[in-house]
């Protein structure tokens, strides 16, 4: 998992986009969807998950967004089985840069693919997992142990070619959580405000 440092955004924004049709066009996102993506980015920036712990980071984001039911933290490549058993929907996706907003992307380890860690990184040993989010300036972020501009952590070529979408569920509680956050502290939270501004 690579060590890129990006600007951050609040956590609830992520879950909303996952369930809201996953439009690739940022202009068509609703206010609630944007809030969820911003909450996801903010969670990734502030949850104190250390570098190399992408599985913990994604679990933190999904839990904050209310999407953590039947999910547990695990190594990056293990999320394929975890999401499948939790009822998430697999969608074919050849390019992470074109994956649906709000989806979870999984990358296999070098050890599984090549029998050894050819990158010499945590991702080479354990794979990588990330959540796809959008900031206030319509820039794509790949969030896990921290937000990144580029997909795949340290093993981008090990992408499974599947984007995972949450099981169908009502988003009303997630939207309420995002609106409550903004009403309570959004305008006084400098990280949130940086992430939300274009």
CA distance 89 to 112: 23
Instruction: Give me 183's structure tokens.
Output: 């009403």
Q: How confident is the model at residue 7 (pLDDT cuts 50, 70, 90)?
A: very low
CA distance 109 to 114: 8
Region 2-13 average pLDDT: 38
Q: What does pLDDT average to over the chain?
A: 78
Residue 72: predicted pLDDT: 87
pLDDT of residue 45 exceeding 90: no
Tell me which H or E stretch contains 80.
helix 79-85
112 part of a folded domain: yes
Count: domains in the chain? 1
Give CA 143 to chain center in angstroms: 4
Q: State which residues form the domain around 78.
A: 12-196
CA distance 146 to 60: 11
189 part of a folded domain: yes
Q: How far apart are the first and last CA of the chain?
A: 28
Q: What is the pTM of this model?
A: 0.76
125 part of a folded domain: yes
The CATH number of the domain holding residue 97 is 3.90.1720.10
């Amino acid at each position: 998992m690579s060590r890129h440092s990006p600007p951050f955004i609040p956590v609830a924004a992520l879950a909303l986009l996952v369930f809201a049709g996953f439009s690739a066009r940022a202009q068509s996102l609703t206010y609630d969807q944007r809030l969820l993506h911003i909450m996801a980015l903010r969670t990734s920036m502030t949850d104190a998950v250390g570098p190399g712990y992408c599985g913990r980071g994604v679990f933190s984001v999904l839990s904050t967004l209310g999407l953590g039911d039947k999910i547990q933290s695990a190594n990056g490549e293990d999320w394929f089985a975890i999401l499948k058993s939790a009822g998430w929907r697999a969608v074919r996706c050849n390019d992470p840069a074109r994956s649906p907003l709000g989806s979870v992307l999984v990358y296999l380890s070098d050890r599984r693919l090549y029998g050894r860690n050819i990158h010499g990184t945590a991702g080479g040993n354990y794979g990588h997992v990330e959540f796809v989010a959008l900031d206030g300036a319509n820039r794509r972020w790949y969030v896990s142990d921290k937000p990144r501009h580029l997909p795949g952590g340290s093993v981008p070529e090990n992408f499974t070619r599947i984007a995972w979408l949450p099981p169908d569920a009502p988003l009303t509680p997630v939207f309420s959580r995002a609106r409550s956050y903004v009403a309570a502290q959004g305008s006084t939270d400098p990280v949130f405000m940086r992430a939300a501004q274009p």
